[in-house]
Structure formats: C-alpha cells, structure tokens
Structure 1
Amino acid sequence: MGTIIGSKRASRLKMASHALAVMIGAFITAYGLEAILIPNNVSDGGVTGLSIVGSQLFGLPLGILIAVLNIPFVILGYYQLGKSFAIYSVIGIASLAYGTSVMHRIPTIIEGDTLLVTVVGGIIIGFGMGIALRNGGALDGIDMLAVLLSRRLPFGTSDLILFLNLFVFIVVSFVFGLQGAFLSGIAYFIASKVIALVEEGLSGSKTFKIITNQPELMVETIRERLGRTATYNQIEGGFSNENFKEITCIINRLEDSKMKEIINEIDKHAFVAVYDVAEVKGGNFTKKDLH
C-alpha cells in the first residue's frame, strides 16, 4: 500500500513540475512578444501571429484572442494527441494569454535595431516554446494542426508548419507591411531553431529502440496509450549470449514525453536508444485516440 501511495505522490509531483515548466515557458514567450517583438511591429507565427494581427486591427486584448483562437486546436489535440497533452497545452496557452495581458505595458528592451530585435526576440520566444514542448505541452495550435494534416496528406510535419506559417506571414504583411512580415519570418525561423535545441527536434518523428525484460507489456501499453504499433527484432547479448526482443517504435515529436513516461513506468532499467527521423512514409503510421 505504501509503495502505491508513494508512486501516486511521485506521479503527481512529476505532473506538477511539468505544468510549472510549461507555465514558465509561456511567461518567457509572453515577455519576448511584449518586450521586444510587438513594440517593433514584428509578429510571431502560428495562432499567436494571427492573434497579434487581430489585436492590432480590432483593438482587442491579445491575451483574449490567443485563448479564443486556440480553443479548436486544443480540442483537436485532446482527441488526436491525448488528454495529458491537451491539459498541459491548456495550461500553457492560458499562461501565455495571461502573460501577454500583465506584460502589455512593460518597457521595451530593444528599439529600432531590426537585426537585434529579430535575433533576440526569436531566441526568447523559441526558448519559452521549447520549454513548453519539452514538458509535454504546446503554446500554439499550429503545430497540432500540422501533425494531424501530415497523417492525411503526403507531406511531412515540418513542410506543413512552414506552409501554414507562410499564410500567417502573408496576413501579417497587411498590418505590419512587407518589412514587418519579413522580419516576423526571420524571428520565427530563429525561434524554430532554438526550439529544436531546447526540445530536441522541432518537427518530424523519432525512433525508439527499447530492450526490456517486459517486451509484451511494453508494446501493449504503447499501443493502448499512444495508439502506436511496434515491431520486434530478435537479438542476442554479446556478453551473456541471452536472447532478447528489441522493440522498435516510431512516434511523432509531441508523443516523446509520453513515451518516456511509459518506459519509465514499466521498466526503469530498460535500455533505450532514440533516433531522429527526417521523414516517415507508408506502413501504418496512423493514430488512434489516446488515453
């Protein structure tokens, strides 16, 4: 009984730490927007970029637009990417919306120098978004939409993120002008690279190779919670000459945190190797509802 209670307590503490990290990432992103980008007529990409445009056009609070425009994507994330991801994303988006509201009148730390604005602004918002993604949440619905579309169209996730953001920056050009749109694109590109460094992979897929003493339970749990199938490779230990079943499973980047939780829960001592995958085609790389 004590072990079960301790396990539940540890799980709650872990969830709380993830939620706190997502909130911190959201406030860092809000600071980058309000203290650097927006005062210099530079926007972000995705839903946040559209929210900035709407705020400039209609005079509505940016925080309200961020919260409202992301609602459909949060619902989408709940059904396609799982309950925990949706919850962390709600926390992140709500924190970003609140952060932009309370920081709306903070002093601008950089003015006039377009190069410095795009570089520093991109680094700050990328760092914040990367922290959120690394801890299982998202601050913008455009990533969720791109992941869903990539399963139904013959394009990779990164290609669709780029395409969707091209549309956003065209809209931005009508408010901030062509220069503002180009600067916004540069800032977003820098942010994407920072996200890649923080979150270890902006888009695409990952291959997990797992050697565990409970391969059947591991595969069944992955199938139930992630909706992912896996394959076995029969391998032999070079020292012990024991036979093992090596599990191979490909997931998308948004499922990385959940996969690691599953592995840690079933076998803390499992041998795990993770590889970045540039592109996945064919087979049965589809999704089921997560639990």
Structure 2
Amino acid sequence: MERAGLRKTLWELLVELAFDGVGSFAFAVGMQMFIAPNQIAPGGVSGLAVVLNYLTRVPIGVWSFFINIPLLLVGLRFLGRRFALRTLKTVVVLSVMIDYAAAPLPAYTGDPLLAALFGGVLMGAGMAVVFLRGSTTGGSDIVSRVLQLRYPYIPLGRILMSIDVVVILISAAVFGRIETALYGMVAVFTASKVIDGILYGMDTGKLIYVMSRDSQTIAKRVMAELERGCTLLKSTGAFTQSDAQVLLVAVRRQQYHPLKKIIHEVDPAAFIIVTDSTEVIGLGFKPITG
C-alpha cells in the first residue's frame, strides 16, 4: 500500500512538472519574443521584472525569482506550506524557462500592438496550463490571496487589477512612454481572456429564463426544433399571487435567436431574462471531466 501510494505521488508530481514545463515555456516565449523586446510591462511580478531588467540588465527570470521570494514567505505564513512549496516549484521552472529555454529565440520588434496581443495570448495560455493542475505562478496571485484573507469582501479580480495597474503605471514612468501603459493593458486584457477561455471552456452559451402563460408549449417546441432540454420551475407571481411555471433552458449562442422567435410566436407577451454562461457542461454541450 505504501509503495502504491508513493508511486501515485511521484506520478502526480511528474504530471505537475510536465504542466509547469509546458505552461512556463509558453509564458516564457510570450515574454522573451514579444513583451520584453517591445518594452511592454504586463502587470504583476512579470511586468516589474521587465522594468528592472531594463534598468539593471539582470535577466528577467532572475528578477522574477527574487521578487517572488518574499512573497513566497508571506504565502508560507498565511496560505500554508503546501501552497508555498507548489508555488516555489512553479516559480523555479518559470524562471529557468524565461532565462534559458526562451532567451535564444528571436525577438519580434515590429508592430507593438501585435507584440502585446501575441505576447498576451502566449502568457495567458501558459498561465492557464499551470492553473489547470492547481499550481500558481506566484507574484500578484499570492498578494491577492493574502489580501482577500484580510479583506474578504473585496473581489479577487479587483485586487489583481489594482496590482496590474500600479505596475503598468510604474513601467510607463520608467520607459517614458504612455504607449507602454496602453500596450501593457492590451497584453493583460488578452491574457485574461485566454485564461478564461482555457479554464472555463470555449463552449459558452446563453441561459434563458422564460415567464410565459404557455411555458409548456414553448418547452415542447424548444425540445423538438432546437433539440435542447428544458426545465420547468414552479413559481408564484409576487403581484398576482398566482402559480405559474418558469422555463429554464441553456442554448448555444447561435440558437438564441431561433429560441427567441419560438417564444415570440407562442407568446408575444412573454417575459425573458437572458444571461451569458461561461461554460455549459452536460448532454449536448461537452462532457463532465475531472
């Protein structure tokens, strides 16, 4: 049993290292080929490392590692030993990838906007791959988690954005160009969208609530014509105090307008609430995975 447990632990460690390696390499390529050569600081520790590299010529990976050391100590104190060790592992791999694996690659010094976009895509994809195994690249992620323990009512995204904005403003002052800040924001925005797309899935859709006098007929037509399952929820009107049924249905984006047409044909007076769904899992969309 102990040997089997050890074998499982080693296998999980190897898988984590593989994810760290692939993700860190993608991040490093975005940094060394597109971001750093164009003096773009994409917020967080990586952006600060780009600025310090410009001022001192000390490699970006070295700065990234040393900036993370005090943050890792804070993480050890407030977030636990396991979190700190996993983050340290990823930080070491990322620093090596930036200074050795990606450093020899040719730098792109053409259109800065393209550099910000492609750099953001590669960095976002790299971070997402790391996040898939529950690891983190350290930096502002540690700061935001610690601050959220102290101020739990502040949204995590707002904390991260505040840190990124401060670093981007510092980079604009150091490089002496307002364009640096603008391109940095483009890179941060692009990276965040790529991370969301990979972590939460590209199979987005619409979630629709329909309040109608004829929910049953709408449900039958949706199942027959759009081949989508529906759920009828019991409800009571607050004003009329009458019982009714609310139709709940999830559809792909391209099915939204056909659905709206069906609702209008059955009950033009229906009340509809439409929300975006970042990920839809289950029959007809994508399978549930661990």
Q: Please say which of residues 4-13 and 155-164 is displaced more in the overlay.
A: 4-13
Distance in 2 separating the partners of 1:198 and 1:88: 21
Distance in 1 separating the partners of 2:28 and 2:39: 15
Residue in structure 2 matched with residue 173 of structure 1 by the alignment: 172
Distance in 2 separating the partners of 1:99 and 1:15: 18
Distance in 2 separating the partners of 1:94 and 1:37: 20
1:189 Cα deviation (Å)? Answer: 1.2
Residue in structure 2 matched with residue 86 of structure 1 by the alignment: 84
Distance in 1 separating the partners of 2:79 and 2:131: 13
Residue in structure 2 matched with residue 74 of structure 1 by the alignment: 72
Question: Does structure 2 retain, via aligned residues, the 8 Å contact 1:27–1:99?
Answer: yes
Distance in 1 separating the partners of 2:84 and 2:36: 27
* SS, match of residue 186 in structure 1: helix
Structure 1 residues 99-178: aligned runs within 5 Å? 99-102=97-100, 103-108=102-107, 110-153=108-151, 154-176=153-175, 177-178=177-178
Residue in structure 2 matched with residue 36 of structure 1 by the alignment: 34
Question: Does structure 2 retain, via aligned residues, the 8 Å contact 1:35–1:106?
Answer: yes
Residue in structure 1 matched with residue 7 of structure 2 by the alignment: 9
Distance in 1 separating the partners of 2:87 and 2:183: 27
Distance in 1 separating the partners of 2:6 and 2:57: 46
Deviations 1:14-41 (A, max 9, x none): 1221122112211211111001111122
Distance in 2 separating the partners of 1:196 and 1:38: 24
Distance 1:148 1:78, change over 3 A: same
RMSD of aligned Cα (Å): 2.1
Distance in 2 separating the partners of 1:28 and 1:88: 19
1:132 Cα deviation (Å)? Answer: 1.1
Distance in 2 separating the partners of 1:185 and 1:194: 14
- How many residue pairs are counted as aligned between the two chains? 200
Distance in 1 separating the partners of 2:59 and 2:16: 28
Residue in structure 2 matched with residue 222 of structure 1 by the alignment: none
Letter of the aligned partner of 2:166 in structure 1? F
Deviations 1:78-99 (A, max 9, x none): 3333333322211221122112
TM-score (ref. length: structure 2): 0.64
Structure 1 residues 211-222: aligned runs within 5 Å? none
Question: Does structure 2 retain, via aligned residues, the 8 Å contact 1:27–1:128?
Answer: yes
1:169 Cα deviation (Å)? Answer: 0.6
* SS, match of residue 85 in structure 1: helix
- Which ranges in structure 2 are unaligned for 5 or more consecutive residues? 202-276, 279-290
Residue in structure 2 matched with residue 26 of structure 1 by the alignment: 24
Residue in structure 1 matched with residue 187 of structure 2 by the alignment: 187
Distance 1:196 1:82, change over 3 A: farther
* SS, match of residue 47 in structure 1: helix
Larger radius of gyration: 2
1:49 Cα deviation (Å)? Answer: 0.8
Question: Does structure 2 retain, via aligned residues, the 8 Å contact 1:22–1:88?
Answer: no
Distance in 2 separating the partners of 1:7 and 1:90: 23
Question: Does structure 1 retain, via aligned residues, the 8 Å contact 2:79–2:146?
Answer: no
Distance in 1 separating the partners of 2:85 and 2:14: 12
Distance in 1 separating the partners of 2:154 and 2:18: 34
Distance in 2 separating the partners of 1:17 and 1:81: 23
Structure 1 residues 48-67: aligned runs within 5 Å? 48-67=46-65
Question: Does structure 1 retain, via aligned residues, the 8 Å contact 2:23–2:129?
Answer: yes
